[in-house]
Each structure stands twice: as structure tokens, then as C-alpha cells.
């Protein structure tokens, strides 16, 4: 059905796909079944390289993530990396409510660290829903920073000015895709003295 649908629109569809991929975009998003990358961006197969995990987290020792990012940056030479979080994210919610989650504990620790880093701001938000939403946004910011802390990302960045990193939030309550308009140069400037890996030669 899906095959015949595609072929009815373009008989060359699969032979074109088999020629290779040249996406300009790496999308890193949550595994949540409601947040489907191509759908929400209106993109077709071949247009976006994708990595998804619980709560769209970038952990430097995650070899799956590292392989995806390195391949995207060095081989595909993608120009843009988008970290996309979403409101009502179960992973973020769990991080706000400490309890023993078994296997998930170590994964959620990264999110709890984001909460701790921003607890001054978050604890001032009285309304629970708004605090939850804000942690979703701050998690996106921190994961964008985690991307530019990665050595091969910085190498490419210093050499070509790419990839550029963007932070988005998908609002599952109304379908809106929100660009957090993070100025990554400015954000990186704040932590450059700690994380700058620019070669000195």
C-alpha cells in the first residue's frame, strides 16, 4: 500500500532514494510517539537525519548518539542540528518528581542535573504546569550546549561555521512548533573558557 502510494506519485521514487542521502539537517528529538520528526517539520524521506531517545538528551559517552552526530557532521556534512523537545514530555516530568524508576534512573539523572543547574529559576515558578514547560525548554538549551561541547562538532564549526544549532519545542497541546531562538554563539561564549576545544596550532 505504502509502496504503491509512493510509486503512483513518482514511479522513480525508490530508484531516487537508492542513489544516496544528502540531508542538510540532523534532528535530535524525543522517542515519544506523538512527536514524529518528518511529520511535524513537513519533510520527506531523504531530507533529515534523525536520532531519538527519551527526552532528547545528548550524553557525550552515549556511543549511539556520538556515532550519529559524528557521521552527520563529518560524512553528511549537515548544516543544521535541531534539538527538539516537547511539552508534556514524560522523561522531563519524571525528572521533576524524584522516585526510583529502575533502569531509567541513570538516564533521568541527566535531566535531574538540568533541573539542579536551573533550580533557582524553576523553583520560583509557582504554577506546576509552567515549571514543567520551562524545564522542557531549559533541557533543550542544555542539550544544544551539549552538542557544541562535542569535539567533532567544534572542529567542523571552527572550520566552516557549520553546523549551526537550533533549539525547538513541539507543543503537543496545539501542534505549534516553537523556535526558542537560542543564540548559540552567545550561549557558548558563556561557557567557552571551560569547553572550548579549538586547536591551538
To the query of whether residue 123 is one of the catalytic residues in this protein, the response is no
89 touches Co ion (CB under 5 A): yes
Whole-number Å distance between alpha carbons of 5 and 22:
23
- String of DSSP letters for 55-69: T----TT-HHHHHHH
Total site size for Co ion, rule CB under 5 A:
3
Piece of the chain touching Co ion by CB under 5 A; list 89-97, 138-146, 182-190, 191-199:
89-97
Nearer to Co ion, 169 or 182 (CB): 169
Nearer to Co ion, 84 or 184 (CB): 84
To the query of whether residue 84 is one of the catalytic residues in this protein, the response is no
Whole-number Å distance between alpha carbons of 24 and 165:
12
Of the candidate residues 28, 30, 136, 138, the single one contacting Co ion (CB under 5 A): 30
To the query of whether residue 22 is one of the catalytic residues in this protein, the response is no
**Which residues on neighbouring strands pair with residue 80, listed in sequence order?**
25, 164
Nearer to Co ion, 35 or 165 (CB): 35
145 touches Co ion (CB under 5 A): no
Helix (H, G, I), strand (E, B) or coil at 134: helix
CA end-to-end span of the chain = 57
Of the candidate residues 28, 32, 141, 142, the single one contacting Co ion (CB under 5 A): 32
156 touches Co ion (CB under 5 A): no
To the query of whether residue 34 is one of the catalytic residues in this protein, the response is yes
Residue 25 phi/psi, 5-degree rounding, is -130, 135
Piece of the chain touching Co ion by CB under 5 A; list 16-24, 59-67, 86-94, 152-160:
86-94
Write down the least CB distance from residue 91 to Co ion, Å: 5
Whole-number Å distance between alpha carbons of 31 and 4:
28
- Decide if 1 contacts 55 (C-beta within 8 A): no
Q: Which of 34, 116, 173, 192 is catalytic?
A: 34
Kindly give the pairing relationship between strand 164-171 and strand 176-179: antiparallel
Whole-number Å distance between alpha carbons of 144 and 167:
7
To the query of whether residue 32 is one of the catalytic residues in this protein, the response is yes
Interacting residues toward Co ion by CB under 5 A: 30, 32, 89
- Active-site positions read 30, 32, 34, 86, 89
Amino acid at each position: 500500500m505504502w509502496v504503491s502510494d509512493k510509486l503512483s506519485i513518482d514511479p522513480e521514487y525508490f530508484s531516487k532514494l537508492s542513489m544516496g542521502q544528502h540531508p542538510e539537517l540532523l534532528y535530535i528529538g524525543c522517542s515519544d510517539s506523538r512527536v514524529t520528526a518528518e511529520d511535524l517539520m513537513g519533510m520527506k524521506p531523504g531530507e533529515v537525519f534523525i536520532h531519538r531517545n527519551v527526552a532528547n538528551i545528548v550524553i557525550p559517552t552515549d556511543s549511539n548518539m556520538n556515532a550519529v552526530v559524528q557521521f552527520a557532521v563529518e560524512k553528511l556534512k549537515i548544516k543544521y542540528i535541531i534539538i527538539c523537545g516537547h511539552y508534556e514530555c514524560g522523561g522531563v516530568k519524571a525528572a521533576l518528581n524524584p522516585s526510583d524508576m529502575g533502569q531509567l534512573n541513570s538516564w533521568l539523572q541527566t535531566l535531574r542535573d538540568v533541573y539542579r543547574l536551573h533550580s533557582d529559576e524553576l523553583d520560583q515558578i509557582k504554577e506546576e504546569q509552567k515549571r514543567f514547560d520551562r524545564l522542557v525548554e531549559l533541557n533543550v538549551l542544555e542539550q544544544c550546549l551539549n552538542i557544541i561541547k562535542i569535539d567533532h562538532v567544534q572542529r567542523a564549526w571552527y572550520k566552516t561555521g557549520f553546523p549551526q544549532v537550533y533549539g525547538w519545542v513541539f507543543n503537543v497541546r496545539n501542534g505549534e512548533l516553537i523556535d526558542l531562538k537560542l543564540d548559540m554563539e552567545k550561549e557558548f561564549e558563556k561557557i567557552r573558557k571551560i569547553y572550548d576545544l579549538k586547536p591551538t596550532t
